[in-house]
Amino acid sequence: MSAPTISVPQANPGGGYRALRGAIDAAVARVLESGWYILGQEVRAFEAEFATWLGNHAAVSCGNGTDALALALRALDVGPGASVVTVSHTAVATVAAIEMVGATPLLIDIEPDCYTMDPAELESVLARPPVGLPPIRAVIPVHLYGQPAALERIQAVCQAHGIPVIEDCAQAHGATIGSRKVGTFTEVATFSFYPTKNLGALGDGGMVVASSPELAARIAALRQYGWKTHYISDEVGVNSRLDELQAAILRVKLQHLDAQNARRREIAAAYDAALSGSTLAPPVRRPGAEHVFHLYVLRVPDRADVQAQLRAAGVGTGIHYPSPVHLQPAYMERIALGPSSCRVTEIAAQQVLSLPMFPELTDAQVAHVCGVLRSL
Ligand SMILES: Cc1ncc(COP(=O)(O)O)c(C=O)c1O
């Protein structure tokens, strides 16, 4: 028997390109003709436009969202001899970045409803850090799936201990807490422009945003060999630059981001309505915050069965993420965990299921998914 054809994929970065083809092709042609391909006017313009869109922070682009986290840690002088607290229910990138700078990850649990860092467990590890670990020097909450983490409580706990917070906004471009966008609450925060993200390049890209021009200048130097002046390294840096082509493409896509986030919320509302009366609950929204639905994630105890039913009806799904970081072979049995041993995380990894979610989904595709959800 042949595999069913997927008529509604879970994600579709090619569709994102096709929807804006004329403007993107023109931007690419402009860069190709310019003869300037690295750190030029497109990058400068994109950084300025992103900073304006975000709020009052300075923006420094780089090669990808993992490098953005590593640069943010470096800018706060976090490295060997420091521990950094984050979650295990995240893209492995968050943890990889901590080890890239030579620091030691300490992974804690998530809140069961919102899937983001549990502030109560954070409070407990900051009050009584695990024996044998280097001192905790930073905390990285992840605004996962497009939903802001419990930042107010996280920041209050960290402030009491004098520990900086770095927001990982890779999945939450445009999400807000109150009237402010995530990425503006902390001294330094990071974004990814991986193609499927709410603001996605047609390749790799990342951004670090900083609350002070001094910090931004240091990050800008660190992303290019530690140069303040060309060819003179004041400190040891790396090479992590956004290229002109991606910057020009991202400038086009940034203009549509708010409308695309609104479309994601519209699709989420349609899925919510289709689920009413079913045994599956729609994703919980954090009060006072606005979700931007990078992913629409259900908790499904009999996941394999539901996934198979959706697949049979041509509906693609994803699992974000099938294994917590601490259970992956590269990290297993060597990564420090908080007192809960990430129990909530381990259950979530067995039950989460992501439905199709991207702004170019047609009304007919959304209606098809809703019909299948009603029949579950
Ligand atoms: C939560 C989170 N942090 C960091 C990253 C890293 O971004 P990139 O893939 O651009 O390195 C990603 C994306 O994969 C992510 O989802």
What local confidence, expressed as pLDDT, does residue 4 receive?
77
Report whether residue 201 contacts ligand 1, using a CB cutoff of 6 Å. Answer: no
What's the whole-model pTM score? 0.98
What local confidence, expressed as pLDDT, does residue 172 receive?
98
Report whether residue 90 contacts ligand 1, using a CB cutoff of 6 Å. Answer: yes
What local confidence, expressed as pLDDT, does residue 57 receive?
85
Which of 41-74 are b and which e, b meaning 16 or more Cβ less than 10 Å from the residue's Cβ?
Answer: ebbeebbebbbebbeebbbbbbbbbbbbbbbbbb
Report whether residue 94 contacts ligand 1, using a CB cutoff of 6 Å. Answer: yes
pLDDT < 50 regions, the chain: none
Ligand 1 centre distance from Cα of residue 65 (Å): 5
| Nearest atom of ligand 1 to the alpha carbon of 205 | 10
H or E segment to which residue 238 belongs:
none
Ligand 1 centre distance from Cα of residue 251 (Å): 20
Q: Are 108 and 119 in contact (CB under 8 A)?
A: no
The candidate with the shortest Cα–Cα distance to 21, out of 264, 202, 244, 259, is 202
Pairing of strands 83-87, 136-139: parallel
What local confidence, expressed as pLDDT, does residue 342 receive?
98
Report whether residue 246 contacts ligand 1, using a CB cutoff of 6 Å. Answer: no
Pairing of strands 180-181, 176-177: antiparallel
